[in-house]
Homo-oligomer: A and B are copies of this chain.
Amino acid sequence: MWPPDEIVRVLRERGELSEPAPGVVTLRGEVARLMCELEQAIGALCATESPDEWRVPPAIAFPALARADYFASFPQWLTLVSHLSDDEAALRVVAEQNEPGGASVTAPKAALNPAVCYHVYSSLAGQIIDESRVITAQSTCWRHEGARHAPLARQWAFTMREIVFVGTAADAQRFLDRAGSHVIHLARALGLDASVAVATDPFFAPTARGKQLLQQIEELKHEMLLPIGTENRIAASSFNLHGIFFGQAFDIRLPSGAPATTACVAFGLERWLLAFLVRHGPDSAAWPAVDSLLEALHA
């Protein structure tokens, strides 16, 4: 096994990894190709769970996140998008200085996606779900973690794919069991020693509301951990059962009138890539062909 720092150092030295802004990463060359292959493998797995792929945009309006109690839960991660005031004089200053330093910036207009699944709940808000639905989508997501950022392991902007379930409680559990087992199999087919552990989201809990949310979701989150060292593991996927939390919050109902149960399976693609590189090294000559590993998986 290669230490993650060493992987990043080698890729950087070869010009295959760089950070064009703090917490965001460019991949080039063989490692970019590998990332595409892993993305396709994960996409193919998700397509077998759901033929219903959505194209979600990179941002979401505040009211949708408020409905999901996001600001009460994870304000520490929030990443916001704004633009310059369209005042001509202000723009002229930016143009003359050729830098936006003192620019008059609007109040933030939207949040950059903190996760993919909020788009699903928000789109289904107010609807009655005749039968259980499974949806998949991929998007860049943003979580600001300041000094903790590290390339591939913990980026400000990273690539997330999710499979999102909305329907009955019984179907939700079956969905999680089935999808979870497929995810573990995929990781093992890639040579990765996957394990599963109960996890807790790092809720921002100093408020009464935060504490209440924390209790509601206890023991409903599991993570798939992949080794990134002899002692260290990284959460590369998560399996989340939300009960009726989002069904109630977004008024998504079953034909009986009861709120729908939701669940989701999430993939952090850069973390899958890092675990693969830690296991197989930074040299492409030593990488098993992802294609043939997947064929073996399906044989």
Stretch at the interface among A76-84, A260-268, A282-290: A76-84
| Interface residue? A168 (CB, 8 A) | no
Given A109-B22, A157-B58, verify A71-B53 contact (CB < 8 Å).
Answer: no
Stretch at the interface among A169-177, A193-201, A203-211, A226-234: A203-211
| Interface residue? A36 (CB, 8 A) | yes
Chain A interface category by residue count: 35 or more
The answer to whether B119 touches A20, judged by C-beta atoms less than 8 angstroms apart, is: yes
The answer to whether A82 touches B108, judged by C-beta atoms less than 8 angstroms apart, is: yes
Query: CB-CB < 8 A to A99: which residues of B?
Result: 62, 66, 71
| Interface residue? A112 (CB, 8 A) | yes
22 contacts across the A-B interface (CB closer than 8 A): A18-B123, A20-B61, A21-B60, A21-B109, A24-B57, A24-B58, A26-B56, A28-B54, A32-B53, A36-B55, A59-B157, A69-B98, A71-B95, A71-B97, A76-B91, A78-B83, A80-B84, A83-B144, A86-B146, A92-B207, A95-B209, A98-B209
